[in-house]
Amino acid sequence: MDALNTARETLPAPRQRGLSAPLKRYFGTPLNALITLVCLWLMVRLATAAWGWLVTRAVMEGGPEACKGGTGACWPFLAAKLRFMIFGFYPYDEHWRPALALGLFLCAIIISMMPRFWGRGLVWLWIAVPLICGVLMYGGVFGLPVVTTTNWGGLPLSFMLSFVGLALGFPLGVVLALARSSKLPAIQVIAIIFIEVVRGVPLVSILFMASVMLPLFMPDGLTVDKLLRAQVAIIIFAGAYIAETVRGGLQAVPKGQHEAAAALGLGYWLAMRKIILPQALKIVIPPLVNIFIGFFQDTTLVTIIGLLDFLDTVRASLRDPNWQGIAVIEGYVFAALVYAVFSYAMGSYSRFLEQRLKTDHDRSAAGG
């Protein structure tokens, strides 16, 4: 009997006839087939219309006159306004400085994303790169003319506000999460009040308070740069949201891990650094990336306090009298493409991190 069962197990599975599994998902029933065909038809129509507007009916050369009366995209507008949309009111002849600063910043981000470079060297990298970028943008040394922060704008400003805000807001959020989970009542209450107050108001309100209300409480003759005030407001806001996400990860770590750390004789901070926090941060990678993507897009709100971010430079370009009414959505298409590329890159990297940071237990469970 055992030999018969073994022979049956070794026989090849009967070949299934009909549609394969992927096709069955879309055409397995008449309703599925109808929905699939309708969706395909809509996608083809949308792709055809987009191709016609972007390429077939688009104006590729000329000026405003060439685009008047056209039914397609006006790409000469993008060529004429590209540098303003990226760099804002930064002096035209000095555009190489924010371009170099942005390139250094992106290179530092790419290096930080590579596991082979993970180590203490990244700390020195992120101390050096912001200082170099600040010197390049502001000037005043090495013969570089001074460019005040009121003239900073465009894509470099959006990157600086979002990534610096998140880079400094992350450790603040971790500290707040630990404080809110603390067994010391005073520290816990302070953390709860801070987090709930900041999360209870929109970012616009915090930016407005930092830009308008804070100077009213400063001594006479003492001022703080508007860009610095906005950066601090974004760091505080990001820290409060990150804190709640990290606290969720801390609560998801099994209690046995805390007990194991105590059994090894590890103190609170060493246990958190070596055992608890690494596991908690692995758990909350997807929600953290959602926060990062949202804050990268929410930097557009700084326009309310007079800072010209990337999206606002696009809107300013569309308001140019020479192009007004001619180029209507070309700038927004370009802005959407830029935001989509960076948002997709952050999402893809989060999926890479999830796979990279999986424990051996997770891999064996997935394989078994």
DSSP secondary structure string for all residues of 166-186:
HHHHHHHHHHHHHHHT-S-HH
Residue range 284-297: mean pLDDT, rounded: 86
d(CA 58, CA 67): 9
pLDDT at position 225, please?
79
Whether pLDDT at 119 is above 90: no
pLDDT at position 57, please?
87
Which DSSP symbol is given to 55? I
Residue range 218-241: mean pLDDT, rounded: 83
pLDDT by residue (tens digit) across 139-198? 888 889 999 888 888 888 888 888 888 888 999 999 999 999 888 889 999 999 999 999
Handedness of CA 212, 190, 252, 359 (dihedral sign): positive
Residue range 329-333: mean pLDDT, rounded: 87
pLDDT at position 114, please?
87
Residue type, 74: C
pLDDT at position 18, please?
52
pLDDT at position 6, please?
54
Q: Which of 35-44, 49-58, 205-214, 288-297 has the lowest mean pLDDT?
A: 205-214
pLDDT at position 208, please?
84
Percent of the chain with pLDDT over 70: 89
d(CA 174, CA 330): 41
pLDDT by residue (tens digit) across 6-28? 545 555 555 555 556 677 776 77
Percent of the chain with pLDDT over 90: 20
pLDDT at position 42, please?
94
d(CA 56, CA 50): 9
3-state SS class at 96: helix
**Closest to 86 in 3D by CA, of 338, 341, 344:** 338
pLDDT by residue (tens digit) across 245-288? 999 888 888 888 888 888 888 888 888 888 888 888 888 888 88
pLDDT bin (cut points 50, 70, 90) of residue 101 is: very high
**Closest to 244 in 3D by CA, of 184, 162, 181:** 181
pLDDT at position 15, please?
52
pLDDT bin (cut points 50, 70, 90) of residue 366 is: very low
Question: CB-hemisphere CA count at 13 Å for 11?
Answer: 9
Whether pLDDT at 68 is above 50: yes
Residue type, 68: K
**Closest to 286 in 3D by CA, of 347, 226, 235:** 347
- Mean residue pLDDT of the chain comes to 83
Q: Chain centroid to CA 170: how far? A: 13
pLDDT at position 3, please?
52
Residue range 95-114: mean pLDDT, rounded: 90
295 or 43, which is more confident: 43
